[in-house]
Amino acid sequence: MAIRRRKFWGWGYEDQGLTAAEVRELAERMAARFKLGTLRIASPPTIDEITLRPSRVSPPSDLESLCTADPHERAGHSYGKSFRDVIRAFRREFPNPPDVVAFPTDESDLVRVLEWCDRERLVAIPYGGGSTVTAGIEPPPDGDYPGVVSIDLTRLDHVLEVDKQSRAARIQAGVMGPSLEDQLRPHRVTLRHFPQSFEFSTLGGWIATRSGGHYATLYTHIDDFVESMRVVTPTGIIESRRLPGSGAGPSPDRMFIGSEGILGIITEAWMRLQDRPTFRAGASVLFKDFMAGAKAVRAIGQAGLYPANCRLLDAGEAANAGANSAGESVLVIAFESGDHPVEDAMKRALECCTDHGGHVPGGVGGAEATHEGAAGAWRTAFLRGPFVRDALVAIGILGETFETAITWDRFPDFHAQVMARVGDAITRICGQGSLTCRFTHVYPDGAAPYYSVLAPARPGSELEQWDEIKKVAMATLIDLGGTITHHHSVGRDHRPGYDRQRPDGFASALRAAKRALDPNGILNPGVLIDP
Amino acid sequence: MAIRRRKFWGWGYEDQGLTAAEVRELAERMAARFKLGTLRIASPPTIDEITLRPSRVSPPSDLESLCTADPHERAGHSYGKSFRDVIRAFRREFPNPPDVVAFPTDESDLVRVLEWCDRERLVAIPYGGGSTVTAGIEPPPDGDYPGVVSIDLTRLDHVLEVDKQSRAARIQAGVMGPSLEDQLRPHRVTLRHFPQSFEFSTLGGWIATRSGGHYATLYTHIDDFVESMRVVTPTGIIESRRLPGSGAGPSPDRMFIGSEGILGIITEAWMRLQDRPTFRAGASVLFKDFMAGAKAVRAIGQAGLYPANCRLLDAGEAANAGANSAGESVLVIAFESGDHPVEDAMKRALECCTDHGGHVPGGVGGAEATHEGAAGAWRTAFLRGPFVRDALVAIGILGETFETAITWDRFPDFHAQVMARVGDAITRICGQGSLTCRFTHVYPDGAAPYYSVLAPARPGSELEQWDEIKKVAMATLIDLGGTITHHHSVGRDHRPGYDRQRPDGFASALRAAKRALDPNGILNPGVLIDP
């Protein structure tokens, strides 16, 4: 049986991605858009083009069968999947790979691997799907470490137990989205957590990075779906109780949720599940003005209606998505339930929209409009996004996204300043480019705006240009009171912004907690905090 | 102007409580219920009957105006409001009062008070409404401390800012429930957080103890309503960003929420508010069998209907509350919204009830049935509960409540064992008594059952009897996989259970975090963890 291998340099399996014809078509479209000459299409690297530093360490004999120094694996575990990561791969630059990749098959394997790392003071990096866009799984660039072990959790990939009565399941942390849903489907339940990385990210990764999921309103972060967790640390295993709710001291789970591998390695979690939806209603609403759309979204968010989808696209995003070419903003709104009809909620939400000048050209649709129709098309395009981004790298177009959250009172000014400051930076750094915005998640007290940058890069300077734009974006979010990330994580890339956002006292407490659990500081050093 | 004073020995203001006639009536009712002779009615203490140890410390001159060693205040800040606390007060036993009570009027006062405590190694106990039933504000019984300062936050009692757009407010931590709502009312918004202690507990106390509020489903713990916080610690002030959502590392707020005063003192918080409800529907549903009612509640909890109220009373509770005397369980269910009608949700919830054998004798009511009617009567009785409890102490009836949360799959066996083990303990320890149960909060994956004990105590042995029953209850909850508290906090009383529940690794991390923020260990030592 041929093993289907992941690309070591970009998104997905080796047999996936845009076809050569699709890449050419994209290159022509981008050339026309930015009035450029013919774009050169760079070839992705092959593993024989990559020279890796020899491994500095070898596993002890009892761990040999779990470990590999295979170049494909070492290169593949060197980077995440940000623009910067893929550019470096296209440059054939892998100066700092892990020395060993370990594939524990169960928790006791993992304990032994971590004991080895702790004993030898090797850096231990928990690795799920490797979908990080913030360098969260990258070996530390400096520091006095004898070696680095990337601990790949993807063999811990089973749904171990399903409790239909409580609608919860005990799930191993290394399972990726599709397999997780496949294993739940026979039980007629779903986790219904669909980050853009869904196909190549893991439950443990979602929990460690506080990923944002399917639901636009109400519970959306993975945080709220965690019932209990099991975490392996260098000083022992920590397991919280399975509880629907508790008021017993600070929540232990909340300390590990978002800890990005610096406190321990999540091996399994009891997760709260959903019934599969059977009732649906959806519509697209047009607004002349993005801010009018935002007001409608605020009204919906504060009405206690809880749409599953409430995605407001500005005119640029709407045009990019093929949703509107008339310069209007588009709100894609949908309700779903596994229990009861949702038409009344939809109707009330549309009233909120018309109150703020929205109009509904296509009317309200049921299952067809939202599942196989517009929403289905969106989802396909959404999950295809990372493949397109890799193709942009190949043709020299800089693609970057940054996302945040902000309260409603500050949103109009915040958004205007982000557009101005980051927009100016794009023009200054790349000569031209586009900056667009959509809402990914909506709260009663604010929204999570998500910004996309597209700009022609100067060949050879892509990294520097990306880095400059990223710096301006980070500084802008933090200066204006936003969060450095709503659901992309902090990793290494967002550290400068996070360091300004995170209260100093909390940093001391977190550092102290890390020292208690990981006294030798081997777990993902440099992510979130310095040792 | 006469100052209305709080009782130093029990619930409420000095002019509040049951009348002498009401206490006599209660005594007759209890005597008849438990087939006892005439019950002696003990008199509550007066302050001149109390001998307090002389204060061991005096404040520095610049803090003198904020501090008092007045016996009424020292006695009043010695205990919380549990059965054990009030019994000790009735026994005129106050062997371990705080030496000084400080009343900071703003944050800078508080900083100076805390600096003094830190400098002199005095124990510093944050004190809100003093409504703890877990000894969370009691000076440590032992330890090498030169003195104890109770820091009363109730002069920090203002709503400082209301952001109508984001529907949030910046509120000082020392404000009590009624004043908080009074200050929000002109803005036509509400926090809508009504713990039983509402009238004599504070925002800061709710946050520090993860109190459970008005809503039976969806967001209910105060945790979910905190947008950001400001906390004074011995090593500095920590302020989190005001954000509707974030994924930037572990949540700083979640470390302080539930920290019960051991990490710092909350001075203010931005809180998420609600619109005042204008649409309502409510009903009472009868079930022959408590477990059938539980199944109906589970169906409602998993349907995504989100009733504001979903209170299932077993037959004993229903009889005590005057809601049913035919041995049936009663589900009080209500929906509310500030935006849209709720009849359809009510209708669907009632279908869930009839699916499990429920019947609705009174039909569904609108505003009248839920606000001024049954729900209003319930709320009045509910808030009056602590006064009745104090009267029970006076007549020698032991009253205790304990509460927990458990997933649905385990609930039937869990409940049966709690009723058996604690019921047996009551009979063994008190000869007779009652144990009843209701659900206070409901989750898709489980429920929060709340148990009430009522039993005749042996004069002179009330504390020992209470303590024995408490021990059995705690051990039972923990043995069977529940939480030691869903919303009553851990304090000193629940420590034995909490120590078994809390993962050891989390205890180490929490202890390390405390040492980082409170290196001299002055803040509420012995609560949650040992220094």
Domains and CATH numbers, chain A: 42-49+58-152 (3.30.43.10), 159-275 (3.30.465.10), 279-490 (3.40.462.40)
How far off is chain A from B176, nearest CA to CA, in Å? Answer: 20
pLDDT over threshold 60, residue B149: yes
Reported as a pLDDT band with limits 50, 70 and 90, residue B380 is confident
A chain contacts of residue B502, beta-carbon cutoff 8 Å: 248-249, 252
Residue of A nearest to B295 (CA): A165
Partner residue opposite B244 with nearest CB, options A231, A337, A447: A447
- Contact between B246 and A481 using a beta-carbon 8 Å cutoff: no
A81 to chain B, any CB pair closer than 8 A? The answer is no
Closest CA to B523 of B232, B239, B219: B232
pLDDT in tens, B19-30: 999 999 999 999
pTM above 0.95, yes or no: yes
- Contact between A238 and B305 using a beta-carbon 8 Å cutoff: no
Query: What is residue B291's predicted lDDT score, i.e. its pLDDT?
Result: 98
Is B286 in contact with B329 (CB distance < 8 Å)? yes
pLDDT over threshold 80, residue B372: no
B409 to chain A, any CB pair closer than 8 A? The answer is yes
Phi, psi of A56, deg, nearest 5 = -90, -15
Is B240 in contact with A236 (CB distance < 8 Å)? no
Q: For strand B168-172 and strand A148-152, is the pairing parallel, antiparallel, or unpaired?
A: unpaired
The rounded distance, in Å, linking the Cα atoms of B280 and A435 is 45
Reported as a pLDDT band with limits 50, 70 and 90, residue B213 is confident
B chain contacts of residue A163, beta-carbon cutoff 8 Å: 407-409
pLDDT over threshold 80, residue B2: no
Tell me the average pLDDT of chain B.
Answer: 95
ipTM of the complex: 0.96
Reported as a pLDDT band with limits 50, 70 and 90, residue B144 is confident
Q: Between residues A487 and B362, which one has the greater pLDDT? A: A487
Q: For strand A397-403 and strand A279-287, is the pairing parallel, antiparallel, or unpaired?
A: unpaired
* SS3 letters across A75-122: HHCCCCCCHHHHHHHHCCCCCCCCCEEECCCCHHHHHHHHHHHHHHCC
Query: What is residue B363's predicted lDDT score, i.e. its pLDDT?
Result: 74
- Contact between B246 and A441 using a beta-carbon 8 Å cutoff: no
Q: At what angle do helices A411-430 and A290-302 cross, to 10 degrees?
A: 140
Query: What is residue A366's predicted lDDT score, i.e. its pLDDT?
Result: 59
Reported as a pLDDT band with limits 50, 70 and 90, residue B368 is very low
A242 to chain B, any CB pair closer than 8 A? The answer is yes
Residue of A nearest to B442 (CA): A244
Q: Between residues B363 and B131, which one has the greater pLDDT? A: B131
What mean pLDDT is predicted for residues B477-495? 98
How far off is chain B from A193, nearest CA to CA, in Å? Answer: 15
Query: What is residue A42's predicted lDDT score, i.e. its pLDDT?
Result: 97
Residue of B nearest to A442 (CA): B244
Size of interface A-B (CB pairs under 8 A): 300
Q: Which two three-digit tokens encode residue A68?
A: 């590999």
Reported as a pLDDT band with limits 50, 70 and 90, residue B3 is confident
Query: What is residue B322's predicted lDDT score, i.e. its pLDDT?
Result: 79
Phi, psi of A506, deg, nearest 5 = -70, -35
Residue B189 backbone zone (phi > 0: left; psi -120 to 50: alpha; other: beta) = beta
A chain contacts of residue B485, beta-carbon cutoff 8 Å: 246-248
How far off is chain B from A204, nearest CA to CA, in Å? Answer: 15
Query: What is residue A373's predicted lDDT score, i.e. its pLDDT?
Result: 54
Residue of A nearest to B440 (CA): A245
Given a cut of 50, the residues of chain A with pLDDT beneath it are 367-368, 371-372
Q: Between residues B368 and B394, which one has the greater pLDDT? A: B394
Is B400 in contact with B453 (CB distance < 8 Å)? yes
Is A339 in contact with A347 (CB distance < 8 Å)? no
The rounded distance, in Å, linking the Cα atoms of B391 and B393 is 5
Q: In A74-113, which positions are buried (b, 16+ CB within 10 angstroms) versus exposed (e)? A: bbbbbbbbbbbbbbbbbeeebeebbbbbbbbeebebbbbb
- Contact between A243 and B409 using a beta-carbon 8 Å cutoff: no
